[in-house]
Structure 1
Amino acid sequence: MSERLRVLVTGATGFVGRALTPVLVEAGHEVRAMTRHPETYDGPGDPVAGDVFDRESLDAPLDGVDVAYYLVHSLDAPDFEERDAEAARTFADAAKAAGVRQIVYLGGLGDEDEELSPHLRSRREVEGLLAGTGVPVTVLRAAIVVGHGGISWELTRQLVKNLPAMVVPKWVSTPTQPIALDDVVRYLAGVAGNDAAFGRVFEIGGPDRLTYLEMLKVAARLNSGRSVPILRVPVLTPRLSSYWLALVTDVNVMTGRNLIDSMGTPVVVTDRSIEELVPGEPMSYEEAVRLALEERRSDEDQG
């Protein structure tokens, strides 16, 4: 490592933050793990109290920080677009005041020419708001992140585990490019402090372009060794789909609806320039699914 950085990870107790923080610590960086409840934090790094909706609470966590990872969102709230915009403005203002050199944000794939869902539209708005005060922002845009504990992956896993057959809407034919959590973390860590990444947007994804239907079939085979009969229906609205998901998974109805809203938009990688800055071969979807299932079994055994 050429430079030891002082790093802040917001959302340190979340799906991506929990995986990223130990990698940054292992790389030799001084890491602050920001959470609203530092007294309960049991991961690596130094726990610090902070809330992206409370401007004053951000001064101490951001003091002297070189790189700030912004890994928070409000998908489980009905007014998530307004909340995420407010939080991004607040954080960008605090980062500017603290002299932060770089903000790293994990956004969502999706062609600007497509009619983006509220979820993806919000992700793009946050990108702009984080950069609004002049702090250089590095954006990594991803589709579904496959890893134990991720909401999108949990939807997939629980559907193929709990249902003998599935009735699915037309969005199952939408192309996507899933990526393993380990690869997301590798890219996130790889751009830290890299001047060549400042002010740039990168697309990240695994090597496989799949439809959601193909993803479900692979997950079913690897999870149970059996196929799940799937019947497509022409009309199944996001609202109905979210209630259906709530019946067979433990994912929050509002979160499910917001995610499903995005599944009609193709989310594939069209630019692989990230590989020039962070070289390495991303793992396949099958490899990512096997790893996620193994980690879940390991957690269950330890529990």
Structure 2
Amino acid sequence: MNHSGVASDQKPAVEITKDRNGIEQIVLRNPRGASTRVSLHGGQVLSWRTDRGEELLFTSSKAIFKPPYAVRGGIPICFPQFGQRGSLEQQHGFARNRTWVIEENPPPLQSYDSTGKAYIDLLLKPSEDDLKIWPHSFEFRLRVSLTADGNISLISRIRNINCKPFSFSIAYHTYFSISDISEVRVEGLETLDYLDNLCQKERFTEQGDALTFESEVDKIYLGSRDIIAIFDHERKRTFLIQKEGLPDVGVWNPWEKKSKTMVDFGDEEYKQMLCVNGAAVEKPITLKPGEEWTGRLELSVVPSS
């Protein structure tokens, strides 16, 4: 053992690397060998692997990893707006296009906390250019953690350091890797109202017992419960999405026709992905000067029949 309590042949809990464009990435590992990789470009989680090395998040083979583009896959953070709901031209806000910084310098490279969790703290503050398009001073702190069980958690804390109130929307636009879109079902959204972005944001009520997929879907479910499940029958596994402070859930799959119009997405890749997002969209969050908002998302995967 070395002084940090990590066996010397074990890889560190937190490792800083660079991608081929020179962008810093942080790899978190737990004692069992599960891992997650976070890029400072967008503060975006790009990978989440089990202790067997199985990738749980989808990233397009055509994804662009160079700023100012957002990476198509993983968990982009949509802030300060989601979709076109807001004053910005950029559909999902600018946080996913910006360079974040590691808040603690140097970061705790060897540390698991007492529960065997590895984590990194990131920070985003607005640039002068950001303040021109969205004139509100904020500090956005993001803690990405990988637990001893291999769960991944994202805790966001957004503080208003303005002298006037501001409002924002937020979503963790999570791209799950699935066997086949026609083989999965989502539970936990039944009987909810949703806004359908394919029908001018018209409001409907979900009728089915579980969501299954046979065409393009782009919906925001309102006031959902705090646990949503994605059952993947073929891979015999279930993703559990637990959330706090994020009342809404976005569900998105572009299907065949739309996939062909997206330069950073393969024509057939819609079959292997499903976006289910913890979000706060319908009622934007308003912060008074000095106030802070906290939202949490935890993702886990369990075997299922």
Which TM-score band applies after superposition, normalised by the shorter structure? under 0.3
Where is the helix percentage greater, Structure 1 or Structure 2?
Answer: 1
User: TM-score, normalized by length of structure 1?
Assistant: 0.26
User: TM-score, normalized by length of structure 2?
Assistant: 0.26
Where is the strand percentage greater, Structure 1 or Structure 2?
Answer: 2
